[in-house]
Amino acid sequence: MMMPSEKPNTKSMNENPIKSTSQQRAITELIIGAVAWETETQGYCTCPGEPSHKDCKVFLDKVPTVFCFHTTSCKPQVDATNLALRRVLSGGCGTRPPLTAAQRREWQRRDAEKRKKMEMAASATRGLPIVLDVWKTSVDLMRKRSPSPIPSNPVEHFHALLSLFPSEDVIWVGDTYSSCSDDATEYEKVRCRGFFRTVGEWSKLSAAPANFTCPSVFKTGSHSRSQANALFRCFLVVESDVHSKDEMCAILEWLQKWMRLRAVVDTGGKSLHGWFEPPQPTALTEFEIILPAMKLDPALFRISQPCRMPGAMRDGKYQHLVYLDKGVRHAC
C-alpha cells in the first residue's frame, strides 16, 4: 500500500510491465493466434476480423498493436483485440501512432517481396519431381558427355581442376585446421598462410595436398578462410546431402539452362559437387531461394564455403572428376 508521503508512480501506462519478450510473444499468441515473427517484436498474424486478410501485422514495441491494412471492414474486431492486448501486456489502452504513407508503402513493398520469395520456394518444391524426371540422367552418362577428357589417373584430377583458375589467383587448399583467426599466434598465422597460394604454386605439386578447396579467390597473405578475406567468387558449387548421385546429375543438367557447368566432383562419399560459373547477382539472389527449396545445401552460397578437392583420398577412395569443361580460360 502506498504511504501518504510517497510519490505516485509517474511511469507511462504504455510501458510494458512484462519485461520478458518471450512472455510477451507467448501471451500475444494466446490472444490472437499464431504469429510468424520476423523480429523479436514484430510479426505477421491472422486478422482478428477477416481471416482472409493477409496484410496484418502485430507490433509489441512501444504500444502493443495489431495493424491490418484493410482498416475498414475489420476495424471493430482489430480495435477490440488491441484493447485486450494492451490491458494484458501494458495495463493501459493507449493508441499507436498511425503509419505514415511512406511507412505503409515500405511495409507493402516488403510484404510483396516476402510473398514473392515464399511463392518461388513453393514452386521450386513442387517442381523438384519434374526436374528429377524430365532431366533424368546418370553419373556414367555425365562422364561420357564431358566436354574435356578426364585423366584416367585420379591423382591428375587435382591439376585438371586447377586449370579452371587463372594461374595468378590465390586459392585455399587445406583441411579442417588449415585456417586460423586474427587472434591466433604469429606462428599459427605463418603456418596457415601456407594454405593460401597462387594456382601456379599449387600446380607445381605432384598431387593434392589436402581434401578441401574453395571456389573463391583470396587476398594475398591471407591466414583465414573467411568471407572478409575472399575477394570474389569464381564458381558456385552446388551440392546436396539428401539427393542420390543420379538425382544430383538431373539437377545439374537442369541448372545448365542458366549457368555453365565447368566441373562435377565425386566426393568419394554419397554426393556430387557441381561447379558452375556464377550467375548474375539478380539470378544468384533467386537461386538462394530456389535451390534450398530443392533440398540443396544453402551453405553453398557462402563465398568462403569449402568443397571437396579432386585427386585427394577420402576413406581409401579418390575424390575424382566425372565432368570437366576447360573451354576458354575462366576469367573470374
Give the model confidence (pLDDT) of 224-282 as tens digits: 999 999 999 999 999 999 999 999 999 999 999 999 999 999 999 899 999 999 998 88
From 66, 89, 112, give the residue that closes a domain: 89
pLDDT of amino acid 243: 96
Asked, for residue 70, whether it belongs to a domain, the answer is yes
Identify whether residues 52 and 171 lie together within a single domain: no
Instruction: Kindly state whether residues 68 and 190 are assigned to the same domain.
Output: no
Higher pLDDT, 327 or 151: 151
Average pLDDT, integer, range 142-149:
96
Query: Does the residue 243 lie in any domain?
Result: yes
Average pLDDT over residues 33-50: 88
Note the Cα 203 to chain centre separation in Å.
Answer: 32
> Radius of gyration over alpha carbons of the chain, in Å?
28
**Helix, strand, or coil here: 246?**
helix
Judge whether residue 312 has pLDDT over 60.
yes
Domain end residue (candidates: 89, 118, 145):
89
Among candidate residues 62, 89, 116, the one where a domain is terminated: 89
| Domain-embedded: residue 102 | no
Quote the pLDDT of residue 91.
Answer: 62
Label the pairing between strands 272-276 and 320-324: unpaired
186 in the same domain as 60: no
- The answer on 305 and 212 residing in a single domain is yes
| pLDDT number for residue 18 | 53
Indicate whether 295 pLDDT > 70. yes
Neighbours of 156 (CB within 10 A): 17
Instruction: Cell 597462387: give the residue.
Output: 198
Together in a domain, 58 and 149 = no
Instruction: Produce one character per residue of 180-191: b if its CB has 16 or more CB atoms within 10 Å, e if not.
Output: beeeeeeeebee
Residue type, 330: H
**pLDDT for the residue 122:** 92
d(CA 273, CA 319): 10
110 within some domain: no
Tell me what percent of the residues of the chain surpass a pLDDT of 90. 61
Judgement on whether residues 320 and 172 belong to the same structural domain of the protein? yes
63 with 140, same domain: the answer is no
Which residue carries 568471407 as its cell?
Answer: 227
Tell whether the model's pLDDT for residue 93 goes beyond 70. Answer: no
Q: How far apart are CA 61 and CA 64, in angstroms?
A: 6
What residue ranges in 78-207 does DSSP mark as E strands? 170-174, 196-198
CA 107 to chain centre: 23
Task: Yes or no: say if 246 and 139 are a contact pair by the CB < 8 Å rule.
Answer: yes
Residue 84 falls inside a structural domain:
yes
pLDDT in tens, 49-65: 877 777 789 998 878 89
Look up the CATH number of the domain holding residue 279.
3.90.920
Rounded to an integer, the average pLDDT of 143-168 is 96
Q: Are both 138 and 246 inside the same structural domain?
A: yes
Name residues whose C-beta falls within 8 Å of residue 73's C-beta, 6 or more positions apart in sequence.
Answer: 49, 50
- For residue 183, the model assigns a pLDDT of 93
Instruction: Please check whether residue 192 lies inside any domain of the structure.
Output: yes
Q: Let me know if residue 13 belongs to a domain.
A: no
pLDDT of 190-231, one tens digit each? 999 999 999 999 999 999 999 999 999 999 999 999 999 999
Looking at the fold, whether 148 and 280 belong to one and the same domain comes out as yes
Mean pLDDT score, 156-165: 97
Identify the domain containing residue 29 by its residue range: 21-89
In 3D space, the residue among 82, 91, 30 whose CA is nearest the CA of residue 56 turns out to be 82
Same domain for 225 and 143: yes
| pLDDT of res. 11 | 42
Q: Which residue has the higher pLDDT, 239 or 107?
A: 239
Sequence-separated contacts (24+) of 137-142 with Cβ below 8 Å: 137/246, 137/249, 137/250, 137/253, 138/246, 138/249, 139/245, 139/246, 139/249, 139/266, 139/272, 139/322, 141/249, 142/249, 142/252, 142/253, 142/264, 142/322, 142/323
Instruction: Provide the whole-model pTM.
Output: 0.71
The number of domains in the chain is: 2
Distance CA 151, CA 192 (A): 31
Mean pLDDT throughout 121-127?
94
Same domain, 312 and 182: yes
| CA dist., res. 136 & res. 246, Å (int) | 8
Domain-embedded: residue 7: no
Q: Does 158 lie in the same domain as 55?
A: no
Query: How high is the pLDDT of residue 327?
Result: 79
> CA–CA separation, 312 vs 208, rounded Å?
5
For residue 302, what pLDDT band results from cuts at 50, 70 and 90?
A: very high
CA atoms within a 13 Å half-sphere pointing along the CA-CB vector of 332: 22
